[in-house]
Amino acid sequence: MPAYAHTANGPEGEPLPESSGQWQPLATHLRNVADLAARFAAPFGAAEEARLAGLLHDLGKYRPEFQAYLRGERSSSAETQHAIFGAAWAAEDSRQIPCAALAIAGHHAGLYNQCDIEGMCTKHILRIPETLPTLIGLLENELGPLSSLPPPPSWIVDAHSAEFYARLIFSCLVDADRLDTAYWPVHPPTDTMLDATRLFEAVHTERTRKTSDNPNSPIAPLRNRIFDTALDRAALPTGFFSLTVPTGGGKTLTSMAFALAHARCHGLRRVIVVIPYLSIIEQNAAEYRGILGDDIVLENHSGISPSPDTDEEEKSRLELVSENWDAPVIVTTSVQFLESLFAASPSRCRKLHRIPRSVVIFDEVQTLPAHLLAPTFNVLRELATNYGTSFVFSSATQPAFRRCAALPDGFLPTELREIAPEPDALYRQLRRVTYRLPAPGETFDWPTLAARLAETPQVLCVVNLTRHARELWEQLRRILPTDEAPIHLSSAMCAQHRLALITTVKNHLREGRPCRVISTQLIEAGVDVDFPEVWRALGPLDSIVQVAGRCNREGLRPTGIVHVFQPADHKQPPGVYRSASDQAAITLAALGDPETAAEHLATYSDIFPDYFQALYQVVNTDHAKPGEATIQEDRSYLRYREVARKAHVIEDSGTPVIVSGDMRGGQWAGPIIEELRTRVLAPGQRRFDRNDLRHLQRFMVNMRHHKFQLLQTRQLIHPLLPNLELYVLDTACYHPALGLTLDNLPPDDFTV
């Protein structure tokens, strides 16, 4: 009887019989996956090992037990497991660390710890040693003789380099397997290649347009100088670069121009822009799409992750369409990028193989999570040294990433090359604001602060907590006329809602209309708005300076005013954020009285290296709880599941749900949901594909897992489609001005 890899499903997910002719032959699947995996691994010289992993990954499906399972003659059980057979062959053939074996064993259930592989390969119920020769014979009869695994690459010099190399082989295998499964019986679409020359010309044209559109801007000549200096340095060898430019200096356009010119010089494959806040992603992705084209830029910020497989024979419909970054320009979040570097799950790791031979721009790099700096820098150095990847650290408040006792994986002075002209001089030339710092013991309660904000027609106030934003918004709303209602921005809103409101803010500011905005820290970096006056609750020092970039941004006023205040309710997010706020207060106090400290803050950039250096002395840069190994220690023993458990940017980054209800000033997802559910399918078309997922992510909002479970219990979230792990939020839980509300309370804070 023929051996199959998969049964077939119709467009609605219904099973098709074997007689339909749509079941995929196992030999076809193995050959397709091997070819794709080899193609994905070729840019970093691992095609041969990836090809063998592709040929072997479903070796166990030749067993009669598995074929009986496909035909419905038996249920899934331990005897129908299949991934371990190819892993056993690869582990036996490996000359050093079994990278291919780890990839094969985990291609459904996720990367295992290396110490678990040996026991799995000798599992008695599967009789692996006795069965393996027969299975290899069946495979070679259909696909030809297997070659031996190649020796490890020359750059595998320690356990950390081996750990990451195995991740990349795993990524290539998982992406190839999911693509072939999702698109069978047709071939997956080919990737759009980066045309760096054409895209660079588009960015250069946009620079010219912006200059001509703002002929009276005193900042335009400085922006052009920064742009041109960065381009002059694009031919430097690949590696690490810093772009230290004060807010409003044109970092977004300059960093992309440098990346494209650098990619053109060195034949790099894509540009990946990593951004901390969704509000910046929405704006920057829209700007890049307008310059480069919709088909060039992929926006990836959805935190959707399929549930872990309880049965290795089943693939989630959601996992088959999980993101793989198959575009020339990627705009993503710090959470997506960093957690993918350390993840164990197939859906998270699937995109990793796209990073080698790319340019990665860390926008607002000062927001990199301090508790992950040591393992992050180790992996970034691995990518730069052995995989031809370049990194651009872009910020107005460049942190101190130099090597020291608190940061042993930091950078040597010769490693991190500046591409902006004379950052200290730029800082003084681009001064546009005057700071007003609080007097000792001075605090503001919300009614008093609301009264002060009401006196100023156009003002932005940034606070530390979602709860604070809502309380202050409500106080201000009570004392303002209805036609001057304040605008609220926070992580309780979906991406589309925030983008629509930020567009409204820009229009009001441009037209001179009253515009009072209460926001959490998501607006303080990268959002192109220009207020005459800004208030910022005392917080991290870089946050204070970043929010000043939303004040007098174009320098068209003599000065802007930035008030730093301490709320009477001075509660802050826990962890590093609170430590950074405490260190900010210490740093400002050391600068002298409030007036002297304010002047120093406005004119000198040299306070930030010392501030960050002091912060790294008091926070753990390699996250570990007392009594636990560090992430780097777990990596050295290839304990992938322990690494994944610890390496979270946010402890509970939440579960995304789709917002279907109306949102003030913006589109809503109701028509998209209705079209999906009633779509008339063409022959071969599936009900839900990756394009649908990419479209819907703009209408998703995250909630803590326990709140998600509560809404499930109350039947306030509903499946988008049957058998799909995506849920739609009941309209009663989403306020048109405030976003997600549960029991009339704002949700917990997400600080990144």
The reported pLDDT for the residue numbered 749 is: 47
Among candidate residues 568, 592, 618, the one where a domain is terminated: 618
19 contact partners, CB below 8 Å, separation of at least 6: none
The reported pLDDT for the residue numbered 487 is: 96
Residue 286 lies in a domain: yes
Q: Give yes or no: residues 670 and 709 share one domain.
A: yes
The reported pLDDT for the residue numbered 606 is: 75
DSSP 8-state code for residue 267: T
Residue 698 lies in a domain: yes
CA dihedral 522, 271, 301, 395 (to 10 degrees): -20
Residue 749 lies in a domain: no
The CATH number assigned to the domain holding 422 equals 3.40.50.300
**Rounded to whole angstroms, how far apart are CA atoms 289 and 329?**
10
User: Residue 406 is encoded by which pair of tokens?
Assistant: 């608190």
Q: Give yes or no: residues 273 and 147 share one domain.
A: no
56 contact partners, CB below 8 Å, separation of at least 6: 85, 86, 87, 89, 90, 100, 104, 139, 146
Q: Give yes or no: residues 368 and 417 share one domain.
A: yes
Q: Residue 592's CB: how many other CB atoms inside 10 A?
A: 12
Closest CA to 490 of 742, 744, 741: 741
Among candidate residues 600, 618, 636, the one where a domain is terminated: 618
Indicate the pTM of the whole model. Answer: 0.88
Q: What is the pLDDT of residues 537-580, one digit of tens each?
A: 999 998 998 899 899 987 888 899 999 999 999 888 888 889 99
**Rounded to whole angstroms, how far apart are CA atoms 685 and 189?**
14
- For the chain, list residues with pLDDT below 50: 310, 665, 749-752
Which residues, listed in sequence order, are joined to residue 659 by a DSSP beta bridge?
A: 729
Residue 752 lies in a domain: no
Q: Give yes or no: residues 51 and 200 share one domain.
A: no
**How many angstroms separate the Cα of 623 from the Cα of each of 335, 373, 451, 628, 648?**
15, 9, 43, 9, 9
Write the DSSP string, 567-627.
BSS----STHHHHHHHHHHHHHHHT-SHHHHHHHHHH-STHHHHHHHHHHHHS-SS---TT
Q: Give yes or no: residues 472 and 417 share one domain.
A: no
Q: What are phi and psi of 523, to 5 degrees?
A: -95, -10
Q: Give yes or no: residues 392 and 442 share one domain.
A: no
Q: Give yes or no: residues 421 and 524 share one domain.
A: no
**How many angstroms separate the Cα of 626 from the Cα of each of 620, 630, 746?**
11, 10, 32
**How many angstroms separate the Cα of 457 from the Cα of each of 384, 454, 514, 713?**
49, 7, 5, 44
Q: Give yes or no: residues 333 and 477 share one domain.
A: no
Q: Give yes or no: residues 233 and 155 share one domain.
A: no
131 contact partners, CB below 8 Å, separation of at least 6: 63, 85
Among candidate residues 426, 447, 468, the one where a domain is terminated: 426
Where helices occur in 71-195 by DSSP H, the ranges are: 83-93, 99-105, 114-121, 128-143, 159-183
539: buried, middle or exposed (CB in 10 Å: 19+, 13-18, 0-12)? buried
User: Residue 161 is encoded by which pair of tokens?
Assistant: 């380099």
Q: Give yes or no: residues 443 and 408 share one domain.
A: no
User: Residue 55 is encoded by which pair of tokens?
Assistant: 């040929």
Residue 715 lies in a domain: yes
**Rounded to whole angstroms, how far apart are CA atoms 17 and 15?**
7
Q: What residue numbers bound the domain in which 725 lies?
A: 655-740
Residue 64 lies in a domain: yes
Question: What is the number of domains present in the chain?
Answer: 4
Q: What are phi and psi of 671, to 5 degrees?
A: -60, -35
The reported pLDDT for the residue numbered 124 is: 66
The reported pLDDT for the residue numbered 310 is: 45
Q: Give yes or no: residues 200 and 255 share one domain.
A: yes
Contact 281, 495 (CB under 8 A): yes
Contact 190, 184 (CB under 8 A): no
Residue 645 lies in a domain: no
The reported pLDDT for the residue numbered 693 is: 86
DSSP 8-state code for residue 6: E
Q: Give yes or no: residues 550 and 600 share one domain.
A: yes
CA dihedral 99, 102, 107, 112 (to 10 degrees): -140
The CATH number assigned to the domain holding 19 equals 1.10.3210
Q: What count of residues does the chain have? A: 752
Three-state SS sequence of 237-262: CCCEEEEECCCCCCHHHHHHHHHHHH
Residue 750 lies in a domain: no
